[in-house]
Homo-oligomer: A and B are copies of this chain.
Amino acid sequence: MSAASREPAEPLVPVLAVVGVGLIGGSFAAALRDRAGVGRVLGVGRQAATLAQARDLGLIDEVASLEQAAQQADLIFLAMPVGATEAVLSRLEPHLRPDTLVTDAGSTKANVAAVARAVLGERIGQFIPGHPIAGAERTGPEAAEAGLYRGRTVVLTPLEENTSASKAYLTRVWECCGARVMAMDAEVHDTILASVSHVPHLLSSVFMWQVAGAHDSDLRMTLAGSGFRDFTRIAAGSPEIWRDIFLANRSAVLSELQEVKAALGRAEQALQDADGDQLQDFLERAALARRFWGSRSGLT
């Protein structure tokens, strides 16, 4: 889309459809609106109350069906639970205009790409898989905020059928939201996310489950402090969403888990040997790496 081809008043996304107007979808709409990057916003979802709330909050202009979204939108952003991707794409596909672009926000990418390819067939070039790395502690449209993606990383895992123009366009849209865009293979994305997101969630949840099941769990909970609070915060996340993530990214999670267990075995051996130097060495490497990450990420 060159400068010459754009009307002065035409926004980057003339008509946006958001499927699933919660934190992720609502914040996407809010960010584009905040930067005058969107004309009209259609909201699609299963729960009428949530859609009404999103409209009251000004996140969407009107409620639409998937069919209407496919017919009217220039860009469709899928932000519902990733397990619904196949059903949603199946209902969009027959009505999709040839110039409409579809993207998503799912936490795993190889499985989404496979599902999209199976459902969209020859229209697969219109779908670019994506994953904004942005917090999900709060949920629902009332948690949506225009600044959610500011300074955050958005990963796109483009397919070979995607055109350069569509990839450049989607990059501009995310940059309009304030995000940094990175492109990589879906398999690389899934392996990295298994490491920095899925395995920590598994460990945190397993730990919380073990403490809660102990015969003296009440006393344990009473003496749990701020370290426990931070370490277990992610374990409060949605069981359904995380079950689906683990199943979708099973082999990468299992493989990364072996790496962590091997490291744990070495630390355990140092502790068994009461080897203070080795304990301090690994604690120091961990502390330095964490402090460096904290100062760099802007997340601490």
**Which A residues are closer than 8 A to B by beta carbons?**
133-137, 152-153, 155, 182, 188-189, 192-193, 195-197, 199-214, 216-217, 219-240, 242-243, 246-247, 250, 253-254, 257, 259-264, 267-268, 271-272, 274, 276, 279-280, 282-287, 289-291, 293-294, 296-297, 299-300
Contacts and interface: CB of A to CB of B under 8 A. Distances in A.
29 contacts: A136-B226, A182-B223, A193-B223, A196-B221, A200-B232, A202-B264, A202-B267, A204-B286, A206-B264, A206-B267, A207-B260, A209-B263, A209-B282, A209-B289, A210-B259, A211-B289, A213-B263, A224-B293, A225-B299, A229-B297, A229-B299, A230-B230, A230-B231, A231-B233, A232-B293, A236-B291, A238-B287, A247-B276, A254-B268
Q: Name, among A192, A211, A272, the residue most crowded by chain B CB atoms within 10 Å (CB to CB).
A: A211
Contact of A243 (B240, B272, B283, B290): B283
Contacts of A300: 229, 233
Given A192-B223, A226-B135, A243 B285 contact: no
A212 to B, nearest CB: 4
Nearest to A188: B219
Q: Name, among A204, A231, A274, the residue most crowded by chain B CB atoms within 10 Å (CB to CB).
A: A231
